[in-house]
Amino acid sequence: MSIVAALRGRGPSGFGYGSTAEEVVQGLDLSGRTILVTGTNSGLGFETIRALAGRGAKVLATARTEEKARSACAALNGGSAAAVPLACELSDPTSIRACIAKIKAEGFRPDAIICNAGIMALPELRQAFGYELQFFTNHVGHFILVTGLLEQLSDRARLVIVSSSAHIFAPREGVDFSNLSGERGYSPWVAYGRSKLANILFVKELARRFAGSGHTANAVHPGVINTNLMRSMSPVMRMGAKIIAPLAFKNAAQGAATQCYVATNPRVEGVSGEYFSNCNIARSSKISRDPALAARLWRETERIVSTLP
């Protein structure tokens, strides 16, 4: 156990900073459960499918391409028998809709969706369909996927969106709707923060819409983990992260714990609209808890989606 894990201890859930994905699903029988996870070829996504498939879940494992998804599935214990590889490029609505169509055609009824895929702090402004790419990939792409599968969910399905404590880097007004293109001043971390704030606001509005339905929606902060997510950072920062990681960061198995916990653990049954960190309910920023902003983001995202191919 790292020093940080020892110092942080465990919370009311019985789990904490140092808990791993395998630990939080230990003893659970997930056979018969279908769990869709995005971004499974790397980092936390791969650790997530490894832990879930290890407990018998049928994992619908997405990656940008079917080839990447296949390799992720093949790398699991039991190989691709434990998981169904699916292509889902989140900056391409056609790819997302093809993924939704495939899930429907196969008759899969997800018991949980873990929206895990993401990109962070792109150094230069990049766009998809005129929208800043982190906002589009991390938020709009997942919005299309989740809303496209609402009818397909099982009765007690759990939606888990992987956000970040970096949601606090979003602009002061939260989501600057007049600059979704990113062209009116682009900052890598502010744009990342805005996309991760959008993840929490999406959860808040989903939870409101889910009330009384048996479905739940929650957001998580996984911790800080040295994964491929850091690829957009400068070589010096990447080197620094590599050196610091064993002392101060979580490893990927610990990073995947909170999303696995929220997606499967019986203690989370019926809990909705919350933000989890270290496998326990935590407090996100004030603006991320603004229901009016969450409702406005939903409306604006629906409008954006209606204009896409």
Ligand X SMILES: NC(=O)c1ccc[n+]([C@@H]2O[C@H](COP(=O)([O-])OP(=O)(O)OC[C@H]3O[C@@H](n4cnc5c(N)ncnc54)[C@H](OP(=O)(O)O)[C@@H]3O)[C@@H](O)[C@H]2O)c1
Which chain residues interact with ligand X by CB under 6 A? Answer: 39, 41-45, 63-64, 68, 88-91, 116-120, 137, 162, 164, 221-222, 224-225, 227-229
Cβ atoms of residues 88 and 63 within 8 Å: yes
What is the C-alpha separation between 265 and 258, in angstroms, rounded? Answer: 10
3-state secondary structure of 281: strand
Residue among 22 and 154 whose Cβ is closer to ligand X: 22
Cβ atoms of residues 152 and 110 within 8 Å: yes
Residue among 107 and 235 whose Cβ is closer to ligand X: 235
Residue nearest to ligand X (CB): 43
Cβ 86 to ligand X, closest distance in Å? Answer: 11
Q: Which residue has tokens 């214990």?
A: 77
Crossing angle for the helix pair 257-264 and 43-54, nearest 10 degrees?
Answer: 40
Residue among 120 and 207 whose Cβ is closer to ligand X: 120
Cβ 133 to ligand X, closest distance in Å? Answer: 8
Residue among 117 and 294 whose Cβ is closer to ligand X: 117
Cβ atoms of residues 88 and 41 within 8 Å: no
What is the C-alpha separation between 56 and 43, in angstroms, rounded? Answer: 21
Cβ 116 to ligand X, closest distance in Å? Answer: 5
Give the number of C-alpha atoms closer than 13 A to the C-alpha of residue 161, restricted to the C-beta side: 34
Cβ 22 to ligand X, closest distance in Å? Answer: 16
Q: Of these residues, 17, 131, 186, 261, which one is catalytic? A: 186
Cβ 3 to ligand X, closest distance in Å? Answer: 18
Rg (CA), the chain: 18
Residue among 121 and 287 whose Cβ is closer to ligand X: 121
- Compute CA 259 distance to the chain's CA centroid, rounded to the nearest angstrom: 8
Torsion sign across C-alpha atoms 252, 156, 76, 74: negative
Cβ atoms of residues 217 and 208 within 8 Å: no
Cβ 25 to ligand X, closest distance in Å? Answer: 18
Residue among 162 and 260 whose Cβ is closer to ligand X: 162
Active site residue 192: no
| DSSP structural state of residue 247 | H
Q: Which residue has tokens 């064993």?
A: 246
Instruction: Give the residue numbers annotated as catalytic, written as ranges.
Output: 186
